[in-house]
Amino acid sequence: MQVIQARLVSIIIGLTLVLSTGSLVYLNKKPVVLLIENEIPVVETSNKTEPVAENKTQTAPAPTKTTTTPTKTTTTPTPTKTEPSTTSGITMAQIAKHNSRESCWSVINGNVYDLTSWIPNHPGGEKRILNICGIDGSKDYSGAHRDEQKPAKYLSGFKIGKLAT
């Protein structure tokens, strides 16, 4: 009887640990904010945790007086480092430098997009985006999405310029 009770206690403790850990992971997920064409944020959750330095939420400092006023919390996309370009657009040489997971630029139909933050969020998988980093991805994009409206709306939020002519 004691052996059964000991096993039962072990099972209960194990389940408690698993459920507690799962709850902590679930509750610590950060939302990913995607901007679409009409600038209404679309919020999705991500398993990726972000360092504090990349926190997208800005808050006002705590008031020092005895009276308090409500503060507004604003979510903004993390600014991306862009290289200076001429008035005629971004060159393929500049785009070719951004061919990695850390900095992924691509040309699609004459426009240049910084897809770095979209890599882990692409519904078709990271590889689809990584394959077009640093190159003209028009053919791949058109082959995968043709005349679909939803991908075009997402893509417009990543535009950083036009291809140099």
Q: What is the pLDDT along the chain (165 residues), one digit of tens a residue?
A: 888 888 899 999 998 988 888 777 766 665 555 554 444 444 444 444 444 444 444 455 555 555 555 555 544 455 555 555 445 899 999 999 999 999 999 999 999 999 999 999 898 899 999 999 999 999 988 888 877 888 888 888 999 999 998
In a domain, residue 134? The reply is: yes
In a domain, residue 78? The reply is: no
pLDDT of the residue at 5 = 86
pLDDT of the residue at 53 = 45
CA distance 89 to 96: 14
The per-residue b/e assignment along 107-132, b for 16 or more CB within 10 angstroms, e otherwise, is bbeebbbbbbbbbeeeeeeeebbbeb
The number of folded domains in the chain is 2
In a domain, residue 82? The reply is: no
In a domain, residue 116? The reply is: yes
pLDDT of the residue at 81 = 54
Q: What is the DSSP string of the chain?
A: -HHHHHHHHHHHHHHHHHHHHHHHHHHTPEEEEEE-TT--EEEEEES----GGG--EE-PPPP-SSS------EE-PPPPP----BTTBB-HHHHHT-BSSSSBEEEETTEEEE-GGGGGG-TT-HHHHHTTTTSB-HHHHHHHHTT-HHHHHHHHTTEEEEB--
In a domain, residue 75? The reply is: no
- Cβ-based neighbour number of residue 137 at 10 Å: 23
In a domain, residue 67? The reply is: no
What is the domain range of residue 25?
Answer: 1-50
Instruction: List Cα–Cα distances, 137 to 18, 96, 114, 147, 162, in angstroms.
Output: 43, 12, 12, 15, 14
Q: Are 157 and 100 part of one and the same domain?
A: yes
CA distance 119 to 139: 18
**CATH number of the CATH domain containing 113:** 3.10.120.10
In a domain, residue 34? The reply is: yes
In a domain, residue 55? The reply is: no
pLDDT of the residue at 72 = 53
State the amino acid at position 47 in one-letter form: N
Q: What are phi and psi of 105, to 5 degrees?
A: -110, 150
CB-facing half-sphere around the CA of 85: CA atoms within 13 A? 19
